[in-house]
Structure 1
Amino acid sequence: MTTWGILGTGGIAAAMTADLTLHGHAVGAVGSRTSESAARFAASHGIPRSHGSYEELVADPEVDVVYIATPHPQHAPNALLALRAGKHVLVEKPFTMDRAEAEQIAEAARAGGLVALEAMWTRWLPHMLRMHEVISDGTIGEVRSVIAHHSQKASPDPAGRMLNRALGGGALLDLGIYPVSFAWDVLGAPSGIHAISTPTATGVDRQTAILFAYESGAQAVLTTELDARGSNTATVIGTDGRIEFDPFFFAPTAFRVLDPEDTVVERFEATVTGRGMQYQAQAIERLIAAGGGEDPRLPLSQSVEIMGSLDAIRERIGLHYS
């Protein structure tokens, strides 16, 4: 059985660990920057070993794969630390801060014969798998448009993570990554990228609108915001119908398939236990068992390219991280 190590002890680490445990995955160790934090997390989640540094965690001989759950700027250095110790990595999204860092992870994984996977959990959820079947079987015809929105009302604390440039704050990397990745999932690589944005007083993006253009003539309209809660829905429009997702499109949810006369031809719902993060764990464990490779639902090469798209968006809106 593949044994997990959890690198980081924040909220997302707790959510992932809960889903791993709930679904029978082996969590063997946790690592934090302090022994006290690691010990508390281990006790809360029934993890047998705790380590007071990330270096100790990745050196643990019983750990096979490390889940990277630290703030955005630490994803690349933490993933490289684990890869250089011979561990596979599941790296929280955004995969890195930019494409250059993503390429470093990809190179290290390939050089070591290891698996590196972005923890974009949405890709493996049941409703997303069914969406691809609906598109592939021609039910909605040729896809012409993708519309996706993710906005939340985050803490207004200027020192908080969401507004902190040094921590990769702003709407784009934390929230906008979902609609951006969704557009990539449905339509692939854009041929053109346009974006406008409104900044916060701290210099990160408060609200960003993105337009992807495609060689096929298709378009994606993507929006994200960090100080107002939106519908968090998505729509895929084709020449013969459309798919409308309930909130929240990026989490376990339902969708309707409608024909051009607005008649519902399918209502898809699935029962998902836990938060739904177990599917990405299953995906990387399959790769590890197979001896490596890339998952077709989210190839490592695509994670690198998506970071390139985020770089282009940041360039267009003048967003720079310290």
Structure 2
Amino acid sequence: MNWGILAPGHIARKFAEDLQYVPGARIAAVGSRSLDRALAFAEEFGVEKAYGSYEELVADPKVDVIYVASPHSEHYEHTLLCLNAGKPLLCEKAFALQTQQVREMTTLAKEKGLFLMEAIWSRFHPAILQTLEIVQSGQIGEVVHVQADFGFKAEYDVTKRLFNRDLAGGSLYDIGLYPLFISKLLLGIPDEIKAVGTLTETGVDMNCSMALRYASGATASLFSTFAAKTDTTCTIYGSKGQLFIQSRFHETTGLTFYPEEAMPQSISTERKGWGYAYEAEHVQDCIRQGLTESPLLPHAFSIELMESLVEIRRQIGVVYPGDEK
């Protein structure tokens, strides 16, 4: 299957490296707003075609599927561009800025009969799949609480994407999405969210702390920050034991199961390369089956996740361009 890479940045390079682990996958073309950047990426990864515009990339008849790796602020526009050109795609998270945008994206994909999925790569990691299996088997009993964090110390540079409001910067959309994702995967849609944050002078969140309550009675404590390196772990507390997802939990190679009245059990899990191959292989399988959405990460999941992200942003006071629409 021939992949096109839209926006050859840092994440796109990791994704491109990991395609070597995906049977039948190759990069056929790369597109950037800068032809020089596209040519450099093409040379690095042995890509035949390099384009100096995204429009040229999506028009390439040899491209079967596109990986969108542009900033969060561009995901809505670039998804529509791909779909209107008849291309199925995998779009990086956060899927868009507002819930209405995600609804429009997924509706268009269904109307055109094209596959579309948010690139929450952790959903397909062996460690996360095993976590879900352990929890659903009842080995830790009923989930009572989920605690998860993700933080690293970023250089405070207002010109860079992480702190740029126009590019949807801030810790929540960049890394806070991971703790929010794991809590949603395990517990579903929260009944109540309480969030506080510390904003930078550019109006995006440096820190974001979230407390969630679910219909089951379970709760979650989630945290993201650009101000400090955190443990970046996840602990799932159950009525019969605990499951600890080792650092960094969204891409880990190890779990520890703490039964209520037995010795802890260490569980090693596989990870090929950076860990992006699993989602890419899943995308290829879905496209070959003629699906418009993933059965493991359906459109409804991304819509509901975006609803939570938007509500958290509202509570902490982060406003992105277009929010007033």
Q: Please tell me whether the aligned partners of residues 195 and 209 of structure 1 are also in contact (alpha carbons under 8 angstroms).
A: yes
Q: Tell me the C-alpha RMSD between the 2 structures.
A: 1.1
Residue matched to 2:218: 218
For 2:206 and 2:2, the matched residues in 1 are separated by 39
For 1:29 and 1:252, the matched residues in 2 are separated by 31
Q: Please tell me whether the aligned partners of residues 21 and 27 of structure 1 are also in contact (alpha carbons under 8 angstroms).
A: no
Q: Following superposition of structure 1 onto structure 2, how do residues 1-322 of structure 1 map, counting pairs within 5 Å?
A: 2-24=1-23, 25-261=25-261, 263-264=263-264, 266-322=265-321
Distance 1:117 1:269, change over 3 A: same
**Larger deviation, residues 55-64 vs 198-207:** 198-207
For 2:34 and 2:195, the matched residues in 1 are separated by 41
Aligned-pair CA distance for 1:193: 1.0
Aligned partner of 2:88: which letter? H
Q: Please tell me whether the aligned partners of residues 73 and 96 of structure 1 are also in contact (alpha carbons under 8 angstroms).
A: yes
For 1:128 and 1:205, the matched residues in 2 are separated by 27
How does the TM-score come out when normalised to structure 1? 0.97
C-alpha deviations, 1:61-108, integer Å up to 9, x for none? 011111000011001100110011110110001111121111111011
SS across alignment from 1:297: coil
Aligned-pair CA distance for 1:269: 1.0
Aligned partner of 1:98: which letter? Q
For 2:208 and 2:108, the matched residues in 1 are separated by 33
Aligned-pair CA distance for 1:138: 1.0
Q: Please tell me whether the aligned partners of residues 252 and 276 of structure 1 are also in contact (alpha carbons under 8 angstroms).
A: no
For 1:137 and 1:301, the matched residues in 2 are separated by 24
Q: Please tell me whether the aligned partners of residues 245 and 252 of structure 2 are also in contact (alpha carbons under 8 angstroms).
A: no
For 1:140 and 1:293, the matched residues in 2 are separated by 35
Distance 1:262 1:162, change over 3 A: farther
Between the two proteins, what is the percent identity of the paired residues?
38
SS across alignment from 1:250: helix
SS across alignment from 1:101: helix
Q: Please tell me whether the aligned partners of residues 127 and 270 of structure 2 are also in contact (alpha carbons under 8 angstroms).
A: no
Aligned partner of 2:78: which letter? N
Distance 1:225 1:260, change over 3 A: same
For 2:308 and 2:150, the matched residues in 1 are separated by 17
Distance 1:21 1:47, change over 3 A: farther
**Larger deviation, residues 151-160 vs 63-72:** 151-160
Aligned partner of 1:38: which letter? A
C-alpha deviations, 1:201-225, integer Å up to 9, x for none? 2211111111111111011110011
Aligned-pair CA distance for 1:132: 1.2
Aligned partner of 2:119: which letter? A
SS across alignment from 2:169: coil
SS across alignment from 2:79: helix
SS across alignment from 1:148: strand
For 2:290 and 2:130, the matched residues in 1 are separated by 27
Q: How many residue pairs are counted as aligned between the two chains?
A: 320
User: Gaps (5+ residues) in structure 2?
Assistant: none
For 1:172 and 1:7, the matched residues in 2 are separated by 23
SS across alignment from 2:313: helix
Aligned partner of 1:239: which letter? S
Q: Please tell me whether the aligned partners of residues 153 and 228 of structure 1 are also in contact (alpha carbons under 8 angstroms).
A: yes
Q: Please tell me whether the aligned partners of residues 22 and 280 of structure 2 are also in contact (alpha carbons under 8 angstroms).
A: no
For 2:172 and 2:144, the matched residues in 1 are separated by 24
